[in-house]
Structure 1
Amino acid sequence: MTRLLLPLMTGSLLVSLSAAADDFLAQVLHPDLLRPAPLAHTLTRLAPNADRRVLQLAASALNCAAPEAGRLAVIDYSLPSTEPRLWVFDLDRGELLFEELVSHGQGSGDAEATLFSNTPESHQSSLGLFRTLNSYYGRNGYSLRLEGLEPGVNDLAYQRAIVMHGADYVSEAFIRRTGRLGRSHGCPAVRQEVTYPLIDSLKEDHYLFAYYPDPEWLESSAFLGCERDERPLAMQ
């Protein structure tokens, strides 16, 4: 099932979507998940520049899917591509490994991503929780395969070849020339300089959470409605 959002043309619509995300946190999530439990608290401490609400959702999704996971990447697509909006956490050590620029798909928007889907050839990014698979060398160089875990939302990611890879259009120089990052075919592309260490930190059975205030996804995602307790981290 394809899920699309209308482009954000007015400030009032952006406020409406943000309010929808707030309503979801207040009414749909289990109340216990709104308290600063260990994982959400640690993510917020390690990435103070990230939106606390997004990190809470990422923590909830991870604890539902894989509470013993060692690494987690979080992408906040509600931010423009000119701002760092990718964070990679080492959960075992309680460390922030990367805070980086990341691209979105050509079909998702210009400087800001507003459209998301699971549709092949849409060149749109997908939301939700992904499991990382193996690294490989492909047409975009060193890349990381992703397995979408949410039916109808991102479960065609592998089929669509939605992977993490490096790209020369992800750079501060590109932003200075064009006012935005370049765009992919739906892949979360990163700076070439960090491609190897970033992919190596995430490959083989870790997780990536991609966020945007899509009310339908926020209300329907099974991972965001899970009520498991959050596990303590080794270092906080």
Structure 2
Amino acid sequence: MMTGVATMSPICASVMAVFLPFRMHFARSFRSLLCAPTKRNRDRRSKTDPTKGDATMALETSLGNETKDDQLLLWILVWSELIAFGILILGFLVVSTYQIEAFDLARLHLRPGIAGANTLILLLSGYFVALAVRHRDDLSAVKRPLRLAAALGLCFVAVKLFEYGGELRFTTDATLGSFFELYFMITGFHLFHVFFGALALLLVAWRPAHENVRLVATLWHVIDLVWLVIFPILYLA
């Protein structure tokens, strides 16, 4: 990773130097959110008297605390994500004030029509996630909208990778390089979120639970919101 940063322009390398610690914090928060329920279940099994056979009572007793813990981890994750994106976007805006002509020229090589279509895809996926939340009391009814949302998320990934195919060559351009380095940092980080968010949607659809539907929906809506900020800044400014 350090080698990759060293080959960047000095300004882009500075942005990465600030961004990476938040990226690592995001990864730790995401891992904690995934692993915490498993750890709590293991701890609960170890503390429950096997002679009583009353796992249901133990589960009901600890459910309130578990929900609060999940909510705390969720918001740590969300704010870590927003701060990381904020650093990248702020870096992009600062650099753009020093390279106005180069950034305007670079935008001519983007394809806002494809990005606009991808925006509609992501918004439609958000609609299906909201539909799943609306019906989360009937777990059998949340599977289909979650799967559709995940499929649309993976469609977003495929379209974005297709778009990348015509843009990678500009990263080595002396004039356009700074724009496209930051462009790939921002959109690539977002693409990472969309891909793993789609996998999380599929996982919850496979084994739905009331609280998990709400948690994954919150994460997905944050991903949608971030793209609605990224899209006009990169493509339309």
Same fold (TM over 0.5): no
TM-score normalized with structure 1 length:
0.23
Q: Which has the higher contact order (CA 8 A, sep 6+)?
A: 1
More helix by share: 2
Bigger CA radius of gyration: 2
More strand by proportion, 1 or 2? 1
* TM-score normalised by L of structure 2: 0.23
